[in-house]
Every structure is written in C-alpha cells, then in structure tokens.
Chains A and B, each alone.
Chain A
C-alpha cells in the first residue's frame, strides 16, 4: 500500500471577486523511500495542493473534493486537532524562502525544539539535545552553539538547512519540499538537494519535491508529474519524461529551458501565450489556447490522464506529441551530449 495516496483532490479559493479553481482533481501515490517531482509554472496550483494536503490553506481556500489517504485515515476529513498531530510529526514541510519562513524573533534552537516538544513529548533538555543533533545532521557547523542564534545570523543556505531540520526533527514519514532551492544561490542549491537526497535514502522517507525547475527534478526525482492549470497533464518516470515528453506542454517546458550542453544553433523556444485565468472553468484542455497541436476536440472536451507507452507513462492529451518530433528532441539532446 502506498504511504500517501491522493485521490481526485480539488481546491478552490472563494474570494469576494471570484472563485479560483486552483487545483482541479489531481491523484497520485507516494511510496516510502520514493521521491516524487511536481513541476509547473508559478500559479499552476502545485504549492496550493501541498498546503491543502496539510490542511493549512489560507482562509479563502477550501478542499471541495477528493481524499488524501495517509495510512488508514483521510486527512481531508480529519478535525484540525487530529491533523495537527500529523503535521510536523508524520509529514514535514520545507518552504521556498528561508529568509521569511523562519520566525525572526525566536532563537533557531527554540524553533526546532518547539516541534519536538509538541509531538514527541520531550522535556526541555531532551528537546535541546535532540535539536542540536538534528541541526548537526543537516550540516550546520557548531550546532550546539548556533541553537542560541537568531535566523538573521544565518546565511540563506544555512537557514534552509534549519528549515529542513525543523521539518525532519520528528523523523516524519513524508517530507514535502516546496521550491526548496529557488531562493538560493546555484552552488547552495546543489548542496541542499544533496542533503535532501541523503535524508530520503537514510530515513526511507517519501519526498514530494515541488518545483518549477526541471533541472531540480532531473537530479533527484524518480517520477515526475507535470502540472498545468490545476491538473496533472503528464506523469512519467523522470528519465522517460525527459527523453520522450508526450504532452505538448511538457515539451514546451523542456524546450524553453536553456541547457549547458546545447549547441549554438539550438534556439530556446518559449511557450506562446500565458496560463489561463483560473477564475473561469472551461470545458476542454486548458492548454489548448497555447498549443500548436490543438484541435476542435481539445477545445471542447477535457482530456483525462491515460496510459501511453505503457502504464507508467500517462498523459492527458487528445493529440500527444508525435513520436517523430519527440525523437528529434531526444536525439538532439543526445547529439549535444555526445559532442
């Protein structure tokens, strides 16, 4: 049985002006020790889904449909008090911006111990020792002294390590990392990703890595879901997704990312247009207005995720990118890496 199983999750925001259809029915499973990538542009609903799973949506947001199965419980139906027992203990979360995600007026040590004391019933000294151990584990030098420091005395990368320490302090079964490296320098990004990779391996945690950066998924995720306008449009083992992207949006994403190994001749091809207005829910594929392969059918009927090239690779598209074209992308990248 999967560790976490999300079934047809739907999230809406009810603002005074409009209803925003932020997440429109996503499903996925996460196994222990597995690393899952969720990729998409900002505003596609990837962060919202993770907040929804933990029950910490902003006031205007609500889960309107679906289940989040964790063990034998459905997190959507849990009372907040029960959900709080799971947050931070069984499911840890790391947020994007370590500059703003730590409380500036609390000592770093206190921010780690409070989660230990809440969930593991530790006394003050025990929690303090454990906090030092966790901070040490995530690679913070002189952890036993630095617990007395405040966030502003840490660099960005170190703060993100603190965030990770807080998230893994109770040895959760699942870690959700929402753009954990976006706000960091490139060299630091690699360090943080390595740290996450190591933790998953040692602890056997399931990791959900949310990012807009295809480079990040490539290095670390086994499976990747591509999200667009609140839906998964393609899901596949990461290698396969990169080699044979079948959804036009995935292809577009891959083509619009500059590659170190690309030849001079190869041009970046941006995706034309902008993501749809999610306050209006239309029939049909939401990518259709920007899609070169769109047909009348695309505009009229919403495609479902269906297996293509075997059950592991699924795509929600009426006209998946033809093999021939996929092949040119794949071969060009092969060529480039060969030269």
Chain B
C-alpha cells in the first residue's frame, strides 16, 4: 500500500472489534469462500448420510455385468459400472473414504509436524538444525514418490495409506510452525510476557502457539485438498487400498481408464467428485487466509 493509500485507509478506519470477529466477518462477506463452504457441505453430507442417500449398497450388483455399462439417466441416476453396481451409491460411499482420508492424514501430518516444529523453533540450537535438516531431506523427495515408497514398505491397508500421505505433509507443518515461532520469539508481546516472568512453557502454549495457529489452520485446509488428491493418485496408480471392493474414487477411475470411449462416465464422475472436494477445500483455505490476513489478498 502506498503512503497515500495508507493514509486514505487510515482516514476511513472503522473501530477495531476483535481479530477473530473481524476475520469471521470478512470470511462471511467473501462469495468465493461461501461457495467453498457449500461444496464442502456437499461432501460432508454425502459422507455422513451415504447410507441414507444411496439408493443401493455400494457393492451390490443391481444390473448386468457389461463392458459397455449404462450411462447416467435411465433407471440409475448416474448409471452403472462394469460390474453392474450403482455409480451414485459408490460415489456417495466414496465421499466417506475421501473425507476420512483427508481428515486423518492431515491430522497425522499436522500433529507430528507441529511437535517437530515447536521443538525445533523453541529449543533452537543443534536440535533445530538436526530436525530441520531431516525435514529438508524429506522435502527433497517429491511427496507422491515418498507416499508410493511408504506404501510399498508398509502395505496397502487404509491406515497405512493415510499414514503414508500424512507423513509427506509433516515437513510443511513443521516448517510453518517453526518459522512462526522464530518470528514471534522476538515479537514485542512475547518479550513483554517474558519480562514479567511468564515461564517458558506457558509462553509457548499460552502465547506463541495460539498466535501461530491461524496460518496452520489455513495450511491444514489446503493440505487436506492435496491429501485427498494424493490418495486418489495412489489408487489410480494401483497402489491404493488393497481391498478391491472399496469405492475409492481414484480406484474407480483407474479401473475404467481404458473405457473412456465406451463408458466415460465411470472415469469422469469420480473425477468431478474429487474436484468438488478439493475445490471446496481450496476456496475455504484461500478465504480463511484472506480473512485472517487481509494484506495477503491473492
């Protein structure tokens, strides 16, 4: 902002009314963010009420086996797949998997990352150096490659996959929190708290971490989108959940990738399901970022 703009803004400043309230107000007034909330709600409702909404069991054969299954419209809203299963039902149950995978793997990555980041940033010295070098090393392996490696190593259960994807996000969160702590360790309010004798641990838990939490939330939202994509990518490569009956979106696409001519809906519909989820999360993440720090409009 230029001096003149700053002055213009200064002139029209409204009364301050609390950081979080302001952020919430800005978020509420951001149409893109609201669209994101809408998309995420679709995903959540589909996941939570899959059993109620789905016309059929996800693995129940309700039509004929066919290399040229029926498309959307007709008797089944979104058509059938090659094994005569109802696509809509599979997509709805797939939402469950994707949401679960997104939340759990980010939770794993976040908690490990935050511990490493907090320890590195707060203790500093050689501990910091050691942790951050390991994080650099992890970052030097592209995340999907690392996830592929971990899955090869650990096996292809849902838990292992979520762990593998979670681990790839550890360095992001560790770096974020460490950076934030380093930035705030010298901040005036922390120096002030320290000068009146607030003990170190309380300083970290009561002052520094709460003030670092906003960017972490934003990052978590955006990372959840990548986690969902990454798991779908693993499935697409044939390294997804070992159980072949699971209606995982990426797997649904992989199973039918060579049927683009005869049954494109089997590839495109799960694809759009993934896009709805990731777009929702990305819009919310961006909206949160803008709401929390209006300077960072991008």
Contact = CB atoms under 8 A, between A and B. Distances in A.
Given A20-B8, A22-B4, 16 more contacts: A15-B12, A17-B12, A22-B7, A22-B11, A43-B7, A43-B10, A43-B11, A45-B7, A47-B7, A48-B4, A57-B4, A60-B5, A61-B4, A95-B3, A96-B3, A277-B12
B2 interface: yes
A51 B12 contact: no
Contact-residue size bin, chain B (C-beta under 8 Å from the other chain): under 10
Contacts of B4: 13, 22, 47-48, 51, 57-58, 61
A47 B3 contact: yes
A324 to B, nearest CB: 36
27 contacts: A13-B4, A15-B8, A15-B12, A17-B12, A20-B8, A22-B4, A22-B7, A22-B8, A42-B7, A42-B10, A43-B10, A43-B11, A47-B3, A47-B4, A47-B7, A48-B4, A48-B7, A48-B8, A51-B4, A57-B4, A58-B4, A61-B4, A96-B3, A178-B3, A277-B11, A279-B11, A279-B12
Contacts of A61: 4, 8
A96 B2 CA distance: 11
Interface string B115-136: 0000000000000000000000
Contacts of A96: 3
A208 to B, nearest CB: 16
Contact of B11 (A20, A47, A58, A95): A20
B234 to A, nearest CB: 42
Interface of A: 13, 15, 17-18, 20, 22, 42-43, 45, 47-48, 51, 57-58, 60-61, 95-96, 178, 277-279
Contacts of A18: 12
A229 B203 CA distance: 44
Contacts of B12: 15, 17-18, 20, 277-279
A230 to B, nearest CB: 10
Contacts of A277: 11-12
Nearest to B10: A43
B130 to A, nearest CB: 31
Contacts, number: 44
A153 B86 CA distance: 69
Interface in B1-40: 2-5, 7-8, 10-12
Contacts of B10: 42-43
A48 B7 CA distance: 9
B179 to A, nearest CB: 22
Contacts of A45: 7
Contacts of A13: 4, 8
Nearest to A95: B3
Contacts of A22: 4, 7-8, 11
Contacts of A60: 5, 8
A15 B13 CA distance: 13
Contacts of B8: 13, 15, 20, 22, 48, 58, 60-61
Residue of B3, B7, B8, B10 ringed by the most chain A CB atoms within 10 A: B8
A98 B12 CA distance: 27
A45 B10 CA distance: 12
Nearest to A276: B11
A47 B4 CA distance: 7
A48 B4 CA distance: 6
A20 B7 CA distance: 10
B12 to A, nearest CB: 5
Residue of B2, B4, B10, B12 ringed by the most chain A CB atoms within 10 A: B4
B194 to A, nearest CB: 28
A338 B7 CA distance: 41
Closest 7 CB pairs of A and B: A13-B8, A278-B11, A43-B7, A58-B5, A20-B8, A48-B4, A279-B12
Nearest to B9: A15
Nearest to B2: A58
Nearest to A46: B7
Contacts of A17: 12
Contacts of A42: 7, 10
A47 B10 CA distance: 14
A23 B7 CA distance: 12
A51 B4 CA distance: 8
Residue of B2, B3, B10 ringed by the most chain A CB atoms within 10 A: B3
A136 B8 CA distance: 38
Interface in B242-264: none
A47 B1 CA distance: 14
Nearest to A18: B12
A278 B12 CA distance: 7
A96 B7 CA distance: 14
Residue of A43, A61, A277, A279 ringed by the most chain B CB atoms within 10 A: A43
A15 B5 CA distance: 10
A61 B8 CA distance: 9
A45 B4 CA distance: 8
A273 to B, nearest CB: 15
Contacts of A15: 8, 12
Contacts of A43: 7, 10-11
